[in-house]
Structure 1
């Protein structure tokens, strides 16, 4: 069996890592979630449903717990109050956590696992609406008020694709983050109030909202890749420090072994999924008793 990663991965000495955690105002450490033979520390948003929260209710919480079980690890959460990309990268580079859920497959600054799901933007609108939309090329979009979850100063891919089609003035842009403790981003509140006819939202968020509210049509935005290259989908992986190849390989094996269980978690969370090949479990590296991998 692989050695515990707080022993074999190198990086900061444990005392310095603990001091850094205590000094970082953006962190709260949760206690262990199991009784494994080593500690696996995972960075996550403490208030980021449907992905994660401090109560362990998100689908990333549940998938990380499955992987920790497969790895015989004691799961510890490192909660981030700010989950912007640079903050997340600094925390994992500094050794405050061993891995982080929900990064883009191949994202710069990380070594990434095999993708554990693939999803994309979706159209979301009432089932009793007098229109049907399943493509960026549907003529109905020209006559609808379209709510887009994203920054109007840096268009998200569907917004940019619509603008390239001359559909711009009927787009309304909303923050992608919930406001004042609301459970969902403001574009979905606008949809519920009838302030927009249709919303374009990232799949897992739209799926969670549709499951809770009911009475909504959820259709993947197509084409998946709008020419010349505007992707509407992404493969989502687990991020590690670039030098932590051994841990990445262990997690890839755990993903392969638990694939059906993680699919069930994603389906239960109503995450809109696109095709993704099942990972092939590579054989574990043979190690002499007591040996350590380089980290």
Structure 2
């Protein structure tokens, strides 16, 4: 049975919903539909305080990777877009030594620094470009990357992309924001930078099979697909899905829960819909939360 809790906080206002342009590390590149890192941290501490691994199979530009750093948790992320996967990898595992030796082109001997360099050049095309010095300052003064973090470039709906995980016994929290609609933005830089990103990810051994289109016609299909793959790898999993209405105003919360119940059966428990507030033209922002057990 699904329970609906009204007026869950956080986020409690627009500032807590939108990404903070001054947030160290996360400010390197923020998609317009990114989450506020500090709010994600508060939600995870509230809903899954005993997590020892942070998973995001639709990792985007890495706001969840930054949240994992703040939480002191290892991060496992998957992202289909090579540019965003580069940024996410850099946010997840980069250290001061990488920012102090940024190569001008991809260097196979410095794979993380190469991903960081791609992130910096992508940032240069935005309204808030970040400098090499700012990157270094963020890494020297910000939270350290947790050992064991991985970011893979691939399609998280495909089983092969999850090959880093084998029947994990750790308590994981899966926090992600599936695309709310086709209007969800993607970076569109010059083609050469996308090529550089692909080379950097290959050098970092982050490229995986299943790098196909990864497109699904609806929120509920992609959300249920990635959760199903995660459930095959973890015995204990807390899932937190961000939700807003689609471009046409349709609500995918009930269809998503129905699909997940059909695919996971008795493994899915304690399903909750936490309604937070209206912070964008799309409408009500909610969190779909549930447990997946053995």
More helix by share: 2
Structure with bigger gyration radius:
1
TM beyond 0.5: no
TM-score where L is the length of structure 1: 0.25
Higher strand share: 1
